[in-house]
Amino acid sequence: MAPTIQQLIRHGNPDPESVEELLAESSFPLVEGPRVTFVFHGEADAVFLQHWIYGLPSSQAFTRLGSSELWYLVLELPEKSRVEYKIDVVRDGEHEWMRDPLNPRLAHDPFGANSVCHSSGYMPPEWTMADPEARPGTLDEIEVESAAFASQRRVLLYLPARFRRSRRYPLLIVHDGDDFLRFASLKVVLDNLIHRQEIAAMVVALAIPGERLVEYGASEEHARFIIDELLPDLEQELPLDERPATRGLMGASFGAVASLATAWLHPGAFGNLFLHSGSFAFTDIGEQRRGPVFDPVVRFVNAFRERPGHPCQRIFMTCGIYESLIYENRSLFPLLQQTGVELKYVEARDGHNWENWRDRLREGLSWLYPGPLWMVYE
């Protein structure tokens, strides 16, 4: 039987054979209740864990085990936590950030991939995985002529299985739609939840931005594109339900800002908002320290906080407790309550990343667009 990491730590200077047995017969990181042990094996002068848990120092030092090449770090993580990380290995004064060589579990994003730690009790939701019994919807691509942006804009269209032009469908417009497809398994989730009748069969327009941080920073041009260009094109081409209560906007981070800003600038156009980890920076009670790219966002959120109005009927908000935006999202929640909007707010033990947003899709979509299975009144 292979030795445990605790036995090796107690030994203080394990022999190479014991280390090799541990590495061969263990899965990393080692999860034992609330204790998670990260392990690195290799030549190094120092090793650090680089993580994205707001409130903790982002760089945590490993301890070398005696004179061996085994390094370890023990952290306490609450149950059902999910943490993305990299390992920083220092050799001859040079830092090399790498994915954990001992951990095959990865999460991808537009910048590459990170290693992933699942604490006790977390499992990727089974409804995020392809179900062979679920009939797949289709994906098509259209181009929308945009005077607001003086260009053509690509939009992907998801049409549900059994799509019929004789029916009328709810509509969801998704900011960063291509990234939701690639990194948050959105098509698989839609196929599964529609098949299970947990959400209504719907049309989903997956918008693809140009200059994302400019367009999604509460720009009036983007709102005009959604309201005056994309929406009329979709209405002309597809059998959509005309009631605002059946129409929604979804986005994460800056995409959440774009969703709320569009609804605020054009109240009544959309009944539903799904806001993931919104970058809702404001300065009416403190200085903005996130950089100039946030300046337009700050102007919008400050104005919204002063006069929120009634942007829509229902809002589902979510944020990870390990991300720095948790304060802004918690601050926005009571303000939205005062507007009379029907509101649901959910926090998760996760960070600012696509799999966090993926894991919230079922609860949010089934609340905003309930299918026959969930046609109940709370």
> Is 319 in the same domain as 177?
yes
Q: Render pLDDT for 38-75 as a digit per residue (tens, 0 to 9).
A: 999 999 999 999 999 998 999 999 999 999 999 999 99
Q: Enter the tokens of residue 68.
A: 């061996």
> Is 222 in the same domain as 339?
yes
Token look-up 């942006």 returns: 149
pLDDT of residue 284: 66
Nearest residue to 175 via CA among 161, 198, 156, 200 = 156
Q: Render pLDDT for 232-261 as a digit per residue (tens, 0 to 9).
A: 999 999 999 999 999 999 999 999 999 999
Q: How many CB atoms are located within 10 Å of the residue 287 CB?
A: 5
pLDDT of residue 374: 64
Q: How many CA atoms lie within 13 A of 290 on its CB side?
A: 18
> Is 114 in the same domain as 135?
no
For residues 315 and 275, give the distance between their C-alpha atoms in angstroms, rounded to a whole number.
7
Nearest residue to 160 via CA among 208, 125, 192 = 192
Look up the domain containing 342 and give its range.
126-374
pTM, entire model: 0.94
| CATH for 171 | 3.40.50.1820
Mark the ranges of the chain whose per-residue pLDDT is less than 50.
377-378
> Is 71 in the same domain as 176?
no
> Is 244 in the same domain as 337?
yes
User: Does residue 143 contact residue 205 with C-beta atoms inside 8 Å?
Assistant: no
User: Does residue 3 contact residue 21 with C-beta atoms inside 8 Å?
Assistant: yes
Q: What are the Cα distances from residue 336, in Å, to 168, 184, 243, 282, 360?
A: 30, 27, 22, 15, 20
> Is 103 in the same domain as 198?
no
For residues 26 and 5, give the distance between their C-alpha atoms in angstroms, rounded to a whole number.
9
Q: Enter the tokens of residue 28.
A: 């990393």
The amino acid at residue 164 is R
pLDDT of residue 375: 58
> Is 188 in the same domain as 97?
no
